[in-house]
Amino acid sequence: MQEATVAEKTEKIFTDVREVEITRAIANEFHDVLIDRAESDVIIIGAGPAGLTASRELSNMGYKVLVIEQNNYLGGGYWLGGYMMNPVTVREPAQKIWDELGVPYKKVQEGLYMTPGPHAVSKLIAGACDAGVKFLQLTKFDDLVLKGGRVAGIVVNWMPVSALPRNITCVDPVAFEAKVIIDASGHDSVAVKRLVDRGLAEWKGMEPMYVNDGEEHVVHKTGEIYPGLIAAGMSVTETHGLARMGPTFGSMLYSGKKAAQIAADKIKELER
């Protein structure tokens, strides 16, 4: 028989709650999010800095936003600056986005700013949550929903399914619908590549590092790849064959902002 961990009588700290009520609370909340966001205004693939920024911007505009992330954590590569060193940098004027989020930082030299990665990520995640963004972690993009010549949703499955032995992986995915999809999946650019597989888009792969050139072009090239699908962040770099931008994050934040505005404009066009 299982015995109490603390045998002696002590002053009670926590409220009594049955184990089953904890289970029901978790399941009910997850169910509510799943039902509510199965049909969203915008679905974003990837919760890195570009995806999180886009999600926060769109949710603040009043749109219903769902972010799927294949990892159990949010933030992508924004936790580290490079080579497992966690200070992250941005170049002028991207520090203004840190100002919006209340991220403290220091000026390294003219035009270059730095902050601890965990501080920047946690503020960005909190900002998205505060804005009303909903997240499904351990959720892996599998395919697109294509209707009437435009992307109308995504097909997803549990991330752990892909790690199961082949003889027990016959687990069908499910689909979510949205007016606009943003591929912010980073180097994987998973949604763009599914269009490439079908001859509906082109993908060039990343060029060697050139920070000044890479950061400029990733923002300028952020845009709609196919009706209903917008590429943001490193997915833009990979899709258009742009220069690697290195361990600086200003263009990811600005690409997310631009993707959000493009998505909002596309939704307004659909609703006319």
Q: Which positions make up the binding site?
A: 50, 69-70, 77, 172, 187, 234, 244
Can the peptide bond before residue 93 be classed as cis, meaning omega within 30 degrees of 0?
yes
8-state DSSP, 189: -
Could you list the residues known to form a binding site for glycine, using ranges: 244
Could you list the residues known to form a binding site for NAD(+), using ranges: 50, 69-70, 77, 172, 234
Dist. CA 37–CA 39, nearest whole Å: 5
* Torsion angle, alpha carbons of 79, 82, 86, 90, to 10: -80
Could you list the residues known to form a binding site for Fe cation, using ranges: 172, 187
On the 0-12 / 13-18 / 19+ scale of CB atoms within 10 A, 102 is: exposed
Dist. CA 76–CA 205, nearest whole Å: 19
Helix (H, G, I), strand (E, B) or coil at 51: helix
Helix (H, G, I), strand (E, B) or coil at 216: helix
Strands 150-158 and 65-68: unpaired
8-state DSSP, 7: -
Dist. CA 264–CA 260, nearest whole Å: 6
Give me the sign of the Cα torsion angle 187, 191, 192, 193: positive
Largest interatomic CA distance in the chain = 70
The token pair that represents 7 in the structure block:
């045998």
